[in-house]
Chains A and B, each alone.
Chain A
Amino acid sequence: MQSSLSLSLSLSSPLPTKANPSISNSIRFCGLRREALVSNLTQRIQQSRVWVPRALPSANGSSASVKGGFDYDLVIIGAGVGGHGAALHAVEKGLKTAIIEGDVVGGTCVNRGCVPSKALLAVSGRMRELHDEHHMKSLGLQVSSAGYDRQAVADHANNLASKIRSNLTNSMKSLGVDILTGVGTIVGPQKVRYGKVGLPQKEVTARDILIATGSTPFVPNGIEIDGKTVFTSDHALKMEWVPDWLAIVGSGYIGLEFSDVYTALGSEVTFVEALDQLMPGFDPEIGKLAQRILINPRKIDYHTGVFAKKITPAKDGKPVQIELIDAKTKEPKETLEVDAALIATGRAPFTKGLGLENINVVTQRGFVPVDERMRVLDANGDLVPHVYCIGDANGKLMLAHAASAQGISVVEQLTGRDHVLNHLSIPAACFTHPEISMVGLTEPQAREKGEKEGFEISVVKTSFKANTKALAENEGDGLAKMIYRPDTGEILGVHILGLHAADLIHEASNAMALGTKVQDIKFAVHAHPTLSEVLDELFKAAKVNIGVSVNEPVAV
């Protein structure tokens, strides 16, 4: 079977002539596992990237003909990053596509998430650097005190969001994706109604429907949001004021990034975390180091193992009140009095008004249930034909790029190529200073898996302190670690904390997606001196197949 090409095949070389074009088409997406095709192989082999001539001309709406009398081949509900990625791929595949957006194109990521927050983090990163006298002095620079103009900072974030938004809109328009305005509701099989409230509703039919409605900030019960002193990331990104003392409820990515922004702008921060340790989602070792670099030296303190039971916004001359209770015993603990509270307790799927009841779908904790191919399941656990759901709304992996990858995977299936996305090769990043990034399993997860499936795991680590480029930048804080199988060389997870970690992770995530083994990638050459040598050292430090014991400490 041609799809079982071995990895030694040079990635750029065209498919050997013996390959049948139809099969080669079906393995277009590198590294995205196609289990149906592969499962009968004795060894699980990841597909290598195969060059395929673009078989279908990029179609635009007018020229594409829709079979079966539908208005569209694909109607996507929600024009966030997931819907956008799916729409672009669908058009490329020749599908007549429409996208319904009830709010603004771009969704959370572009308007209220990743994009504006990166603008603020760019400001905070520079601010932090300019205020780090020791750091400046050691570089030989003299800078007199830096200040900022809050409104200009807010404008920078806002301008970036509008720019990216118009880019997204234009890219879809120019490719011929119909943008339909209004809230989309599934009214029956293959039928969607949309329209603005109070205006006549329109109905369209589609061969397939893709739900990509995303999420909104999750606000636990007992917390009163006023948008001024108690707010979510939606409000925080507008940067309407900088409180002297900000409590951040939740110490995940969102909370951590905002702590970076606000402390750089002069706020003091108090974290409130329900679990026993900060940054619960990270690899424990990375979390510990992150605490040493991102929390302890900054104007931040924290309360762990507590819930914010009640949060009352500032009013009547009183500050914001946060009533804490013990997360386990539920006994009341102290009450915090701060100037503002940012609720960063995660995100809840946004599926209201979708009309899921019309197709007998019941959400689970708000999420739309799907199988590994993003096909929506109904109340009985059966597949709902022609309905898919991607992104935050299905809750598999709540990241913008994961949504986009899921959307592309769905379009692949719609165009006749079975496809299952390997979520373990999707990287994630937290854009603090320095950044944190990761892909695959954490060390405890890998150990658990190894124990269950009966293989050993090994861990190697390298330090940014040993990297020339990092030292040149005077940014030696940081660690990269890789968890891998010493028997096969399979990379199970990579975690990086350090300068530009978010950009560095892709070498590892691509290796994982492509199924590249440690023993192979270690021979790839890295330019010197670059930060990428941190990963180079990691690969070179790994020992495959020579019986390294699992618990042997590794010098870093």
Chain B
Amino acid sequence: MATSHISSSFTSSRILPVRWLRAVPRRSRVLTVQAKIREIFMPALSSTMTEGKIVSWTKSEGDRLSKGESVVVVESDKADMDVESFHDGILAAIVVSEGESAPVGAAIAFLAETEEEVAMAKAKAESTSSGGGTAAPSGGSATAVETDGKVTSAPAVAAPTPAATAVAEGPKKIVVTPYAKKLAKQHKVDINKVVGTGSYGRITPEDIEAAAGIQSKKPAPAPVTQAASAPAKPAAAASASLPPPLPGSSVVPFTTMQGAVSKNMMESLSVPTFRVGYPVMTKALDDLYAKLKPKGVTMTVLLAKAAAMALAQHPIVNASCKDGKSFSYNSSINIAVAVAMDGGLITPVLQDADKLDLYLLSEKWKELVKKARAKQLSPNEYNSGTFTLSNLGMFGVDRFDAILPPGQGAIMAVGASKPTVSADKDGFFSVKNKMLVNVTADHRIIYGADLAAFLETFAKIVENPDSLTL
């Protein structure tokens, strides 16, 4: 049984500025001197509001705004409200168009102070919206920062590229059904590249979903009886594309947590992963554990600490690949540890596991587990992991294979420590406790030798665990 891990959002705000600078490096430098571009962000209109929907823009791009003027109408969970501008300026670019939603605090438009800065703000808006495609806004409220010349970007908000869906009157006529058109806009599918499979060669919603690589959620409410176009035909046999469920079977929908796991697992399929296994002798670790156990230190914490120390020497394994084009080195080592829960699984994160000592980590861990059981973990406490540890050793599992959570570089699967006959270099047989660890990693950034070297370091630390207590 393979386990799966969730670790929902990665911090998109960290990477986006880098990309923007790449996109327009010269220009920004020239203009940064006094350029002042402000973001208009999604306001919190009520204490319970987490995201808002743009009802309408009362101003359009290029309009001059003065402080206090109404710019946009936002629909919150309670009411529609006019949002005013806090500054004078020119509405340079709208990032979130009418009808779209954005989390509280996300940039929904850019305000330029002068005409010259409009272009710059536009470029910025573009980088924001194009980068936003895949980021999950589940991390809660992210703050947008006013920038002076420097560029920041708010977490991504899906802003559709104005898909030119005009039906071409050209030689090849493209016919798109209304829902397919909506889906194409939503998933940014270029309908000119989709081949219609519907009747009369129409592009159907299914075609768009196939092009966007998503599975059709569910069929539209279909008549139970075969309603052919011939009127008033008595009920024919029900059409069944799927085999009928066995009598007495039941369908239980996912809970929110299970839904999140499912989504992450599907996302993980887009990452090319590989695995490297390594045997680790655990006699010394077991001894240390026996000594520290009365002080409240658990095996999980020991392993997390060991992994963190190994990661400190191999920062590449703690890195991640967010856009398929660059390495993202994380500034801290945060070990996410998979914890099974009733009807789900969550990954509380031991932050700065390399820096904290075993006792602090143990206390932290206890607190996290308690919160996890009570479902009170804050997003930061379960989605800030940079490396994941999963241990099924307590079930007697000797080895297993973990799925890499989206947004991380590697995950370690730890099996049980078992007495094993082995031969040493002199050919003497002995029985030693051996544990198999298996690491799954993103091969776009972590190569075989990197992982092997990391595992070697990890094994050394576990086999000489004195450094753990330092």
Residue numbers of A with Cβ under 8 A of B are: 127, 131, 133, 137, 142, 144-151, 154, 228-229, 238, 240-245, 264-266, 268-270, 288, 292, 296, 299-301, 318-319, 334, 337, 339, 463, 465-466, 553, 556
Provide the residues of chain B in CB contact with A337, threshold 8 Å. Answer: 175, 200, 202
| Pair B232/A151 contact, Cβ less than 8 Å | yes
Provide the residues of chain A in CB contact with B175, threshold 8 Å. Answer: 337
Q: Which residue of A lies closest to B198 (CB)?
A: A244
CB of B145, distance to nearest CB on chain A (Å): 30
| Pair A147/B224 contact, Cβ less than 8 Å | yes
Provide the residues of chain A in CB contact with B200, threshold 8 Å. Answer: 318-319, 337
Provide the residues of chain A in CB contact with B167, threshold 8 Å. Answer: 334
Q: Which of B80, B177, B223 contacts A265 (CB 8 A)?
A: B223
A56 CA / B221 CA spacing, docked (Å): 56
* Residue B164 CB within 8 A of the other chain: no
Provide the residues of chain A in CB contact with B205, threshold 8 Å. Answer: 268, 299
| Pair B231/A301 contact, Cβ less than 8 Å | no
* Residue B246 CB within 8 A of the other chain: no
Please judge, given known A-B contacts A142-B253, A465-B78, whether A131 and B221 are in contact too, CB under 8 Å: yes
Provide the residues of chain A in CB contact with B124, threshold 8 Å. Answer: none
Sample 20 A-B pairs with CB under 8 A, ordered by A number.
A127-B221, A131-B221, A142-B252, A145-B219, A145-B221, A147-B224, A148-B224, A149-B225, A150-B225, A150-B227, A151-B234, A154-B232, A228-B229, A242-B223, A264-B221, A265-B223, A270-B178, A301-B182, A463-B78, A465-B77
Q: Which of B55, B222, B229 has the most CB of A within 10 A?
A: B229
* Residue B181 CB within 8 A of the other chain: yes
Q: Which of A150, A245, A264 contacts B177 (CB 8 A)?
A: A245
Provide the residues of chain B in CB contact with A270, threshold 8 Å. Answer: 178
* Residue B68 CB within 8 A of the other chain: no
| Pair B221/A146 contact, Cβ less than 8 Å | yes
* Residue B99 CB within 8 A of the other chain: yes
CB of B329, distance to nearest CB on chain A (Å): 39
| Pair B221/A149 contact, Cβ less than 8 Å | no
| Pair A466/B79 contact, Cβ less than 8 Å | yes
Known: A241-B229, A463-B80. 17 other contacts (CB 8 A): A127-B221, A146-B221, A149-B224, A149-B225, A151-B232, A154-B232, A241-B231, A243-B229, A244-B198, A245-B178, A265-B223, A268-B177, A268-B179, A334-B167, A465-B77, A465-B78, A553-B82
* Residue B30 CB within 8 A of the other chain: no
CB of B272, distance to nearest CB on chain A (Å): 33
Q: Which residue of B lies closest to A238 (CB)?
A: B231
| Pair B199/A319 contact, Cβ less than 8 Å | yes
* Residue B228 CB within 8 A of the other chain: yes
Q: Which residue of B lies closest to A245 (CB)?
A: B177
| Pair A151/B178 contact, Cβ less than 8 Å | no
CB of B226, distance to nearest CB on chain A (Å): 9
Q: Which of A151, A244, A264 contacts B199 (CB 8 A)?
A: A244
The proximity string for B residues 150-172 relative to A, scoring 1 for CB distances below 8 Å and 0 otherwise, is 00000000000000000101000
| Pair B79/A465 contact, Cβ less than 8 Å | yes
A221 CA / B253 CA spacing, docked (Å): 52
CB of B24, distance to nearest CB on chain A (Å): 34
The interface residues of chain B, by DSSP majority, are classed as loop
| Pair A242/B252 contact, Cβ less than 8 Å | no
CB of B392, distance to nearest CB on chain A (Å): 31
The proximity string for B residues 65-83 relative to A, scoring 1 for CB distances below 8 Å and 0 otherwise, is 0000000000001111010
A463 CA / B80 CA spacing, docked (Å): 8
Q: Which residue of B lies closest to A314 (CB)?
A: B229
* Residue B251 CB within 8 A of the other chain: yes
Q: Which residue of B lies closest to A336 (CB)?
A: B175
* Residue B235 CB within 8 A of the other chain: yes
CB of B205, distance to nearest CB on chain A (Å): 8
A266 CA / B228 CA spacing, docked (Å): 14
CB of A306, distance to nearest CB on chain B (Å): 13
Interface residues in B191-217 by Cβ distance below 8 A to A read 198-200, 202, 205
Provide the residues of chain A in CB contact with B99, threshold 8 Å. Answer: 292, 296
* Residue B291 CB within 8 A of the other chain: no
* Residue B325 CB within 8 A of the other chain: no
Provide the residues of chain B in CB contact with A319, threshold 8 Å. Answer: 199-200
Provide the residues of chain B in CB contact with A334, threshold 8 Å. Answer: 167, 169
Interface residues in B217-258 by Cβ distance below 8 A to A read 218-225, 227-232, 234-235, 251-253
CB of B43, distance to nearest CB on chain A (Å): 15
| Pair A147/B178 contact, Cβ less than 8 Å | no
Provide the residues of chain B in CB contact with A150, threshold 8 Å. Answer: 223, 225, 227
A268 CA / B220 CA spacing, docked (Å): 10
A334 CA / B175 CA spacing, docked (Å): 11
| Pair A300/B79 contact, Cβ less than 8 Å | no
Provide the residues of chain B in CB contact with A154, threshold 8 Å. Answer: 232
| Pair A147/B223 contact, Cβ less than 8 Å | yes
A135 CA / B280 CA spacing, docked (Å): 51
CB of B56, distance to nearest CB on chain A (Å): 8
CB of A433, distance to nearest CB on chain B (Å): 14
Provide the residues of chain A in CB contact with B177, threshold 8 Å. Answer: 244-245, 268, 299
Provide the residues of chain B in CB contact with A127, threshold 8 Å. Answer: 221
Provide the residues of chain A in CB contact with B225, threshold 8 Å. Answer: 149-151
| Pair B178/A300 contact, Cβ less than 8 Å | yes
Provide the residues of chain A in CB contact with B220, threshold 8 Å. Answer: 266, 299
| Pair A556/B80 contact, Cβ less than 8 Å | yes
Provide the residues of chain A in CB contact with B223, threshold 8 Å. Answer: 147-150, 242, 265-266
CB of A290, distance to nearest CB on chain B (Å): 13
The proximity string for B residues 124-148 relative to A, scoring 1 for CB distances below 8 Å and 0 otherwise, is 0000000000000000000000000
| Pair B253/A137 contact, Cβ less than 8 Å | yes
| Pair A147/B55 contact, Cβ less than 8 Å | no
CB of A434, distance to nearest CB on chain B (Å): 15
Q: Which residue of A lies closest to B168 (CB)?
A: A334
Q: Which of B182, B231, B235 has the most CB of A within 10 A?
A: B231
